[in-house]
């Protein structure tokens, strides 16, 4: 008979990697969405908020390119300019995007309720806090500064511009692992409000928690979400949960305020020798 043996990690959770907009700050992930709409408007091709949000989570230049590839946007662009959008158009819009985003980030920097309590609890359990974002480094510096004023400061902050490729590739997660000096990968939990962010965590062989309400899937500021009728909330919640589950998230909850029971369950699963 031939046997093979496999090591199994049964230790504690060592790191939580959190997204920024829509996860820890900017309820509704509004800052990038409003700027994408403005950038395409300047290019003479208005887009809807739904179109602006479709690729959310990707590197911002990649995001713009993916919006231009949407059938409706491509058709309107061709009707307006007499040709489909190309690389030079994407470059030009990305150049417009950067200063517009830098100018408005602080307007959307309020921490999402529950962020500070969850981070404090996780650190009390010995869990290190990393972060990933589709923002560029100069944008991230604004978020880090504004978050620090409110009491939130992750141990590591990695941007899409810091690595060879952003989401859904795992490189930002892996750079966080290096920065935080944690191992193995199954001892890490990735939390995100976008499908590419969940795919990023899965690609990195980590546990994943999708946030259905506070970010891109519902796409409403907190006050507007709270103002919805309960039936409308239920309908939007159901769609968002389904999207996150279809993306492969191990767990789906409303907001970061609801993640601690997921950590308890992951810890129990690790102790049993389970892997993501």
User: Residue for token digits 């590591």?
Assistant: 156
Give CA separation, 100 vs 118, 147, 159, 166, in Å: 32, 20, 18, 21
- Distance, in Å, from the CA atom of 264 to the CA atom of 236, rounded to the nearest integer, reads 27
- Distance, in Å, from the CA atom of 262 to the CA atom of 269, rounded to the nearest integer, reads 10
Task: Report which of 175, 244, 224, 236 is spatially closest to residue 204, judged by C-alpha positions.
Answer: 175
Residue 134: both structure tokens together? 């589709």
In this structure, are residues 22 and 193 in contact, taking their beta carbons and an 8 Å threshold? yes
Task: Given the residues 19, 26, 254, 258, select the one marked as catalytic.
Answer: 19
19 is an active site residue: yes
Task: Report which of 148, 244, 159 is spatially closest to residue 195, judged by C-alpha positions.
Answer: 244
Burial 27-64 (b: 16+ CB within 10 A, else e): bbbbbbbbbbbbbbeebebebeeebbbbbbbbbbbbbb
Task: Given the residues 26, 38, 60, 258, select the one marked as catalytic.
Answer: 60
Residue 238: both structure tokens together? 């159901």
- Distance, in Å, from the CA atom of 147 to the CA atom of 145, rounded to the nearest integer, reads 6
38 is an active site residue: no
Active site residues: 19, 60
């Amino acid at each position: 008979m031939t046997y093979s043996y496999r090591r199994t990690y049964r230790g504690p959770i060592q790191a939580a990697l959190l997204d920024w907009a829509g996860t820890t700050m900017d309820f509704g992930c509004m800052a990038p969405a409003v700027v994408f709409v403005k950038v395409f408007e300047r290019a003479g091709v208005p887009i809807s908020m739904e179109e602006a949000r479709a690729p959310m989570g990707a590197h911002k230049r990649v995001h713009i390119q993916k919006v231009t590839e949407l059938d409706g946007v491509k058709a309107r662009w061709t009707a307006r300019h007499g040709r489909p959008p190309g690389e030079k158009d994407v470059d030009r819009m990305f150049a417009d995007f950067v200063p517009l985003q830098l100018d408005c980030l602080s307007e959307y920097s309020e921490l999402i309720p529950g962020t500070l309590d969850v981070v404090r609890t996780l650190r009390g359990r010995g869990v290190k806090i990393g972060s990933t974002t589709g923002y560029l480094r100069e944008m991230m510096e604004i978020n880090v500064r504004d978050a620090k004023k409110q009491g939130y400061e992750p141990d590591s902050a990695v941007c899409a511009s810091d690595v060879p490729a952003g989401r859904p590739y795992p490189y930002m997660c892996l750079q966080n692992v290096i920065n935080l000096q944690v191992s193995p990968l199954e001892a890490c939990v990735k939390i995100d409000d976008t499908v590419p962010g969940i795919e990023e965590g899965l690609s990195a062989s980590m546990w994943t928690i999708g946030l259905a309400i506070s970010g891109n899937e519902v796409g409403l500021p907190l006050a507007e979400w709270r103002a919805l009728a309960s039936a409308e909330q239920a309908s939007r919640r159901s769609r968002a949960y389904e999207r996150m589950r279809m993306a492969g998230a191990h767990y789906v909850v409303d907001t970061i305020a609801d993640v601690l029971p997921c950590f308890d369950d992951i810890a129990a699963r690790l102790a049993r020798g389970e892997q993501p």
